[in-house]
Structure 1
Amino acid sequence: MNPPASSHPEPDQDLAKVLWSFADVLREDGVSGIEYVEQLACLILLKVAHEHSHRPLNPVDVIGYDTWAEIRWTDRQNQLTRYEETLDHLANRPGNLGMLFRKAQNRISDPAKLSRLIDLVDSYRWSRTDSTGRGAVFEALLARLTADTKTGAGQFYTPRPLIEAIVQCVQPGVGDTIIDPACGTGGFLTKSFEYLVEHFPPGVTPAERARLTNGAFGGTELVDATARLATMNLVLHGLTRADAQPMITVGDALAQPPTRHATLVLTAPPFGRRSTIAGETYAYYRPDFWAETGNRQLNFLQHVHSLLQLNGRAAVVVPDNVLFEGGAGEHVRRRLLDACDVHTLLRLPPGVFYATGLKTNVLFFDKAAPRPDGRPSTKQLWVYDLRSHRPAPTKTTMLTSAEYDDFVSAYRPGRPRSERVESHVFRSFNVEDLLARDRTNFDLLAADLPDDPFAPAEPEADLHHMAQEITSELRSALEELTALTEALQLYGAHGDGPDRGSAT
């Protein structure tokens, strides 16, 4: 007989270590880290649904039958087949269930190992009321998955201490609509939800509380497998239920102008450029975009601007090339300064993300109404320098929450920016000076600035940076040349040229 759920221990951080050790066992059978976490997500969800349906008070059956009991108590010889049949059946369900099981496949071919994993999941009670334990365990598994460089999982995992610092700065409120258009495993959404729960203001109505799990959050993810992990993360954190409508949309967020808008956008878009077609970089043609480019980060910056409501605010993780790339990059930066209050730039040390030596930043801005005098909405850009005078990057640069505390304090969340105080790592730059810079680049460091804050660094100080700039220039030139070639071909296809006597 299945023992009552109350006799099972609640999940804790030690469980993450135990579960990940089983990943090492399955790796010998060719199961990758991400495939293992996917299987684990499916099993945990079935166990949570079982526990909810057997609660003594207010039981909830989100599936319609006890799938976990059927799998758990099927004899080992037939257990694998029963599990695979369950995956196929649930993939056709609507809502989060369909999201969680869509295209999910069993990767554990050894019946004995599958049975051991089922027993391990069954030995814990996952449906804690406050969801803290199970959410923390899943986050710990995602962190271990990211550290497994063979999987390439770091591309959809933003370090949680960085997310926590960003969330503390922007202070999500109960009236916010929070969207991440490149949500990965859902870190920005779960951390925003945790912040809201911890900072409930007095007088929150039942309708406002209900909205937190039905309308306040949304995300888009390109990859099915990652969307499953994100949805599982949201379910385990209590943002949504397995039988609710999905908060995560699977698809390309850049493909169309947004139909839903946000008061707060938090996102870390994928790095790199758009894939090429027949040797040419594919660019998005959207009427709401300021520039056509194959640079995904520039496209996401434009998308975030479109996604924001007036007076909405955003924090976007961008690599260094977004700060200084010419061509479309310069045009986007100028338009962003004009249309938004681009008020804060956090310079991160190399290696904070998964790629060795990759230099990243966080750009904070608010979407503002046009100023009556026609001047840019940005007045001052504050630059916080976490980069200068740090040791050379190794494989990764793991920053703890405490290492972001000084930035959060200098940011002064919820306070007027006029109260900010300059320091050796935190400086402000007037928008007029930014617009006068070559290519309107934001490549600024605050720490130990020379007398001229806009003086370029010595060439030998950052050879990697120089290589990035050269590469960026070549890419921009190639894009412009490609566009010119296409225009000439189109012009030639129409036969007649312009009046030779006209000015060009």
Structure 2
Amino acid sequence: MNPPNSSHPGPDQALAKVLWSFADVLREDGASGTEYVEQLACLILLKLAHEQSQRPLNPVDVIGYDAWGEIRWTDSQSQLLRYEQTLDRLAVRPGNLGLLFRKAQNRVPDPAKLSRLIDLVDLYQWSEDDSTSRSAVFEALLARLTADPKTGAGQFFTPRPLVEAIVECVQPGVDDTIIDPACGTGGFLIKSFEYLVDHFPPGVTPAQRARLDQGAFFGTELVDTTARLATMNLVLHGVTRADAANSCITVGDALAQPPTQHATLVLTTPPFGRRSVIIGDAYAYYRPDFWTETGNRQLNFLQHVYSLLETDGRAAVVVPDNVLFEGGAGEQVRRRLLAACDVHTLLRLPAGVFYATGVKTNVLFFDKPAPQLDGRPSTKQLWVYDLRSHSSAPTKTSTLGSCDYEDFVSAYRPGRPRNDRVESPLFRSFSVEDLLARDRINLDLQVADPPDEPFAPVEPEADLHHMAQEIASELHSALEELNAVTEALRPYGIHGGRPDRDSAK
């Protein structure tokens, strides 16, 4: 969901603004923006469960007791203790409830401020039949968190207009199994679900409907806090239920081992940067299903996405520029990807689409057909759309909106044969023979090149530009790994002086 573009925000946006303004108050107590939104997610879930248990028709007892009532109507001096006891109690629950509260801690040590935050959450009816309004509030909070330069949370949030454009192109169906192996706050899963709701076909069987509730959407997220935000986001959007026995989201390292579950559709924005960290050890992944061993996470994720896909599955993966031109392992991965998959579309995005404005990114679309019996590459033509030449390229104070992707979606021609596509100044096709003939199979393609000189030699300035991009990617990687280390050290109870449950076991 995208916040409405209006000079007069509705009640949902107004509430999001009020809720976010309280984050500045809590900064004085050392709570980060991410920790604040995490705290809101816990309180919102408790309030939502209370409302569902109190409705006159079809009440649902999500938690098993009125946790919100016990906290809400306790005197302010006792609320903090009752709230922390509730977090401990729910953390051991199975399924979504356990994921929503696992390792959750109270980040509001001041009883008066916690009481005020509870009052703010109580202002809103979170269980309205229309999930759009409640999800809009949470999406707006996530958007504010992402835009806050103090949090570094942009790594978890793919801009929703870009997500919408990608989903429109790939057209999720009722029989798809959709996986995001680096799901962040769940944007791709949510937008795929909303697309299915808006394009629900006639004649869907009861088995297909049941599968949409339990077996269609899955994600993996490395960081507990972000997985909690993703699960809350999915609950508020109606993708899953808070009391679901099996969670859509798995917490862990998606690259650690070959997949046990496969997808017909993979949509993902892997973390930027080069290394993958297990606390105390940095290494390049070795997996028997990978084509090559490398410490570059995007190259590893590309290999992982290939392993995730069933035959005839399809994927859209956001990658930084260095994946398109890097030598060594990069060349091997590109060669194998062109051979094993139909790599049919590359959307070139301008700098500024993501919060790491120094990194230019792309969206790589490919399908996984059955192996070619004649040994020829599965890729025939790669169509490249250059959004970097778009007149609405983002600046430091603006981002691309949904309308900025309309021309690309139209040129992509979703659901139609790719031979219906038409070249234009921004959209051009390259044959696989020409791609394989390029030095290092460089896919850093320029649509604006003259047709009779498609592969001009790389100039020294371009090399410097690529080096600068890699440096920016490395710096972002270091920030991301520091965030992971901070998350891993959280069990020592630095916040609020209360030891984490896991450290006491």
Tell whether the 8 Å contact from 2:394 to 2:400 is kept in structure 1 after alignment: no
Q: Aligned with 2:121: secondary structure? A: helix
Q: What is the CA-CA distance between 1:25 and the residue it aligns to?
A: 1.6
| 1:213 equivalent in structure 2 | 213
| 2:162 equivalent in structure 1 | 162
Q: What is the CA-CA distance between 1:373 and the residue it aligns to?
A: 1.8
CA distance in 1, matches of 2:439, 2:118: 60
| 2:436 equivalent in structure 1 | 435
Map residues 256-275 of structure 1 onto 2, 5 A cutoff: 256-275=257-276
Q: What is the CA-CA distance between 1:18 and the residue it aligns to?
A: 1.2
Q: What is the CA-CA distance between 1:48 and the residue it aligns to?
A: 0.5
Q: Aligned with 2:356: secondary structure? A: coil
Moved more, 23-32 or 347-356: 23-32
Q: What is the CA-CA distance between 1:299 and the residue it aligns to?
A: 0.3
Instruction: For 2:217, give the aligned amino acid.
Output: F
Q: What is the CA-CA distance between 1:465 and the residue it aligns to?
A: 2.7
Tell whether the 8 Å contact from 2:349 to 2:387 is kept in structure 1 after alignment: yes
Once the two structures are superposed, residues 211-248 of structure 1 have per-residue CA deviations (whole angstroms, 9 ceiling, x without a partner) of: 21210000000010000000000000011111102100
Q: What is the CA-CA distance between 1:29 and the residue it aligns to?
A: 2.0
1 or 2 for the larger relative contact order (CA 8 Å, sep ≥6)? 2
| 1:26 equivalent in structure 2 | 26
Q: What is the CA-CA distance between 1:441 and the residue it aligns to?
A: 1.1
Instruction: For 1:384, give the aligned amino acid.
Output: Y
Instruction: For 2:26, give the aligned amino acid.
Output: L
Moved more, 386-395 or 240-249: 386-395
Q: Aligned with 1:344: secondary structure? A: strand
Report runs of 4+ in structure 1 exceeding 2 Å deviation. 275-281, 388-397, 447-451, 456-472
Tell whether the 8 Å contact from 2:268 to 2:316 is kept in structure 1 after alignment: yes
Q: What is the CA-CA distance between 1:207 and the residue it aligns to?
A: 2.6
Tell whether the 8 Å contact from 1:349 to 1:397 is kept in structure 2 after alignment: no
- RMSD, matched Cα: 2.1
Q: Aligned with 2:304: secondary structure? A: helix
Tell whether the 8 Å contact from 1:341 to 1:379 is kept in structure 2 after alignment: yes
| 1:141 equivalent in structure 2 | 141
Q: What is the CA-CA distance between 1:129 and the residue it aligns to?
A: 1.8
Task: Could you tell me which runs of 5 or more consecutive residues in structure 1 were left unpaired when the two chains were aligned.
Answer: 1-9, 473-504
Instruction: For 2:140, give the aligned amino acid.
Output: A
Q: Aligned with 2:367: secondary structure? A: strand
Instruction: For 2:206, give the aligned amino acid.
Output: P
Q: TM-score, normalised by structure 2?
A: 0.88
Inter-CA distance 128–434: structure 2 relative to 1 (3 Å threshold): same
Instruction: For 1:154, give the aligned amino acid.
Output: G
| 2:120 equivalent in structure 1 | 120
Task: Could you tell me which runs of 5 or more consecutive residues in structure 2 were left unpaired when the two chains were aligned.
Answer: 1-9, 474-505
| 1:399 equivalent in structure 2 | 400
Q: What is the CA-CA distance between 1:146 and the residue it aligns to?
A: 0.4
Matched, 1:223 2:228: no
CA distance in 2, matches of 1:156, 1:316: 15
| 1:373 equivalent in structure 2 | 374
Q: What is the CA-CA distance between 1:285 and the residue it aligns to?
A: 1.1
CA distance in 2, matches of 1:451, 1:457: 16
Q: What is the CA-CA distance between 1:423 and the residue it aligns to?
A: 0.1
Map residues 271-310 of structure 1 onto 2, 5 A cutoff: 271-275=272-276, 282-310=283-311
| 1:322 equivalent in structure 2 | 323
Q: What is the CA-CA distance between 1:372 and the residue it aligns to?
A: 2.2
CA distance in 2, matches of 1:11, 1:173: 33
CA distance in 2, matches of 1:471, 1:358: 6
Instruction: For 2:35, give the aligned amino acid.
Output: E
Q: Aligned with 2:213: secondary structure? A: coil
| 1:188 equivalent in structure 2 | 188
| 2:65 equivalent in structure 1 | 65
Tell whether the 8 Å contact from 2:276 to 2:297 is kept in structure 1 after alignment: no
Q: Aligned with 1:338: secondary structure? A: helix
| 2:152 equivalent in structure 1 | 152
Instruction: For 1:209, give the aligned amino acid.
Output: R
Tell whether the 8 Å contact from 1:351 to 1:396 is kept in structure 2 after alignment: no
CA distance in 1, matches of 2:170, 2:203: 21
Instruction: For 1:248, give the aligned amino acid.
Output: I
Instruction: For 1:368, give the aligned amino acid.
Output: P
Q: Aligned with 1:105: secondary structure? A: coil
| 1:175 equivalent in structure 2 | 175
Matched, 1:339 2:340: yes
| 1:489 equivalent in structure 2 | none
CA distance in 1, matches of 2:455, 2:471: 20
CA distance in 2, matches of 1:201, 1:372: 35
CA distance in 2, matches of 1:106, 1:377: 53
| 2:500 equivalent in structure 1 | none
Tell whether the 8 Å contact from 2:358 to 2:472 is kept in structure 1 after alignment: no
Once the two structures are superposed, residues 385-424 of structure 1 have per-residue CA deviations (whole angstroms, 9 ceiling, x without a partner) of: 0113768974365100000000000000000000000000
Q: What is the CA-CA distance between 1:370 and the residue it aligns to?
A: 1.3
Instruction: For 1:395, give the aligned amino acid.
Output: K
| 2:5 equivalent in structure 1 | none
Calculate percent identity across the aligned residue pairs. 83
